[in-house]
Amino acid sequence: MNHVDYLRISLIDRCNFRCQYCMPEGAELDYILKQQLLTDKELLTLIKEVFIPVGFTRFRLTGGEPLLRPHVVHLVEEIASLPQTQDLSMTTNGFLLAPIAQSLYDAGLRRINISLDSLEPDTFDQIIGNHGRGRWQQVWDSIQVAYNVGFDPLKLNVVVIPGVNDHEITNLAALTIDKQWHVRFIEFMPIGNAHLFSDRGWIPSQEIRQLIRERWGLTESQVRGNGPADVFKIPGAKGTLGFISQMSECFCDRCNRMRLSADGWLRPCLLNETGQIDFKTALRCGVSTASLQEQVRRLLAIKPEINFKQRDKGNTEGVYTRTMSQIGG
Ligand code: SAM
Ligand code: SF4
């Protein structure tokens, strides 16, 4: 059985982008109300008094867009300073990053993933939706700032969408040649918004690798991260290439994570919410943290049975209808 010690924490479901693959039109109508979000105090109580005691030591802050969360630097500082925290990272779209990158670093954040689906401003705007005119440059500038501040590794996430950005695969891969950046190609998942791309399908990692291999060659890298990425390198490059193949390869058997949504639901699997726990209501009703620990232990015990595969077998009970921005991708 895999050791589950990694928690992805969604700080907020709101976002300042509307990436077509993540947030369908009108998603803002379903935003979690402010009073339904876990407060800073509730979140920190859960981390200190529930998750750490049951063995979680690695945390990733995500969303929605985590930098929209008020007091995000304070939260980073609190979590990073816990002696049991072995790893703290963040996934962001980077739009608001540049002015607070140094503060986040000083607060203890060392690892950051920035989403960058295109090097072409027009394509970028098309992907991130109508709200996004002219935003590419600001994200690009944030990437340079984050690099100069010293985030290491600095990872760039690319969701490959057929007919939209697949012509840029080699240009994006080339970013790793001169800089110690880690570009990660993610297979597009039809989740919550399948209709948008259902006619175009998705591109398997193997095909993406083949394109890169034909251009430069590709070697398997010794570096392995915390997560499900298979890591490769263009020979002689400073950075690496990661491939996250959740569509073409099932990696449920090596899953080491759970997800906490911004409104306090602990979910055992991205695509299957069997057994989920409503922590916010529990805390607000005065349930003890000792009892919550017990609930998490029970969920950990059944987690190996709760996975994507079960969903594929047609078990629709408890399967997500939420989009990535709501789950906390
Ligand atoms: N807003 C932040 C960002 O974009 O990096 C963090 C949240 S976002 C939901 C986290 C990651 O999920 C991003 O790298 C995004 O590209 C990825 N993602 C969202 N929807 C996806 C989908 N349908 N298929 C694959 N990856 C997806
Ligand atoms: Fe927002 Fe990130 Fe989803 Fe794009 S991928 S809409 S930036 S949450």
pLDDT tens profile 77-112: 999 999 999 999 999 999 999 999 999 999 999 999
Residue 310 Cα to ligand 2 midpoint, Å, equals 27
Phi first, then psi, for residue 294 (nearest 5°) are -60, -40
User: Highest mean pLDDT: which of 126-140, 156-170, 244-258?
Assistant: 156-170
Q: Give the number of C-alpha atoms closer than 13 A to the C-alpha of residue 247, restricted to the C-beta side.
A: 17
Nearest ligand to the CA of 65 is: 1
92 lines ligand 1 (CB under 6 A): yes
Least confident residue range of 81-90, 113-122, 123-132, 252-261: 123-132
Confidence of residue 316 (pLDDT cuts 50, 70, 90): very low
Task: Give the mean model confidence (pLDDT) for residues 48-56.
Answer: 98
15 lines ligand 1 (CB under 6 A): yes
- Claim: this prediction has a pTM higher than 0.75: yes
| Residue 312 pLDDT | 42
Give the tens place of pLDDT for each residue, 201-233: 789 999 999 999 999 999 998 766 667 789 999
Q: Which atom of ligand 1 is nearest to the CA of 22?
A: 20
Confidence of residue 272 (pLDDT cuts 50, 70, 90): confident
Q: What percent of the chain has pLDDT over 70?
A: 86
Mutate which of 16, 18, 159 for ligand 1? The one with the most ligand atoms within 8 Å of its CB, which is 159
| Residue 49 pLDDT | 98
Structure letter (DSSP) for residue 88? E
Q: Whose CA is nearest to atom 4 of ligand 2?
A: 19
Mean pLDDT in the chain? 88
Residues 6+ apart with CB under 8 A from 27: 18, 323, 325, 326
Could you count the other beta carbons within 10 Å of the beta carbon of residue 197?
18
H helices present in 81-194, as ranges: 101-106, 121-128, 136-149, 169-178
Q: What percent of the chain has pLDDT over 90?
A: 66
| pLDDT value at 268 more than 70 | yes
Residue 326 Cα to ligand 1 midpoint, Å, equals 10
Confidence of residue 315 (pLDDT cuts 50, 70, 90): very low
Using an 8 Å Cβ cutoff, are 103 and 71 in contact?
no
Mutate which of 62, 65, 139 for ligand 2? The one with the most ligand atoms within 8 Å of its CB, which is 65
| Residue 98 pLDDT | 98
Looking up tokens 């800089």 gives 179
| CATH (one of 3.40.30.10, 2.40.160.40, 3.20.20.240, 3.20.20.70) for 6-327 | 3.20.20.70
24 lines ligand 1 (CB under 6 A): no
191 lines ligand 2 (CB under 6 A): no
Mutate which of 20, 31, 112, 324 for ligand 2? The one with the most ligand atoms within 8 Å of its CB, which is 324
| Residue 236 pLDDT | 96
Using an 8 Å Cβ cutoff, are 101 and 114 in contact?
no
Confidence of residue 306 (pLDDT cuts 50, 70, 90): low
| pLDDT value at 194 more than 60 | no
Residue 325 Cα to ligand 1 midpoint, Å, equals 7
Q: Report the C-alpha gap between 224 and 83 in whole angstroms.
A: 24
Task: Give the mean model confidence (pLDDT) for residues 140-144.
Answer: 97
Q: Whose CA is nearest to atom 20 of ligand 1?
A: 22
| pLDDT value at 193 more than 80 | no
More confident: 54 or 252: 54
21 lines ligand 2 (CB under 6 A): no
Least confident residue range of 185-189, 207-211, 284-288: 185-189
| pLDDT value at 314 more than 50 | no
Using an 8 Å Cβ cutoff, are 49 and 34 in contact?
no
191 lines ligand 1 (CB under 6 A): yes
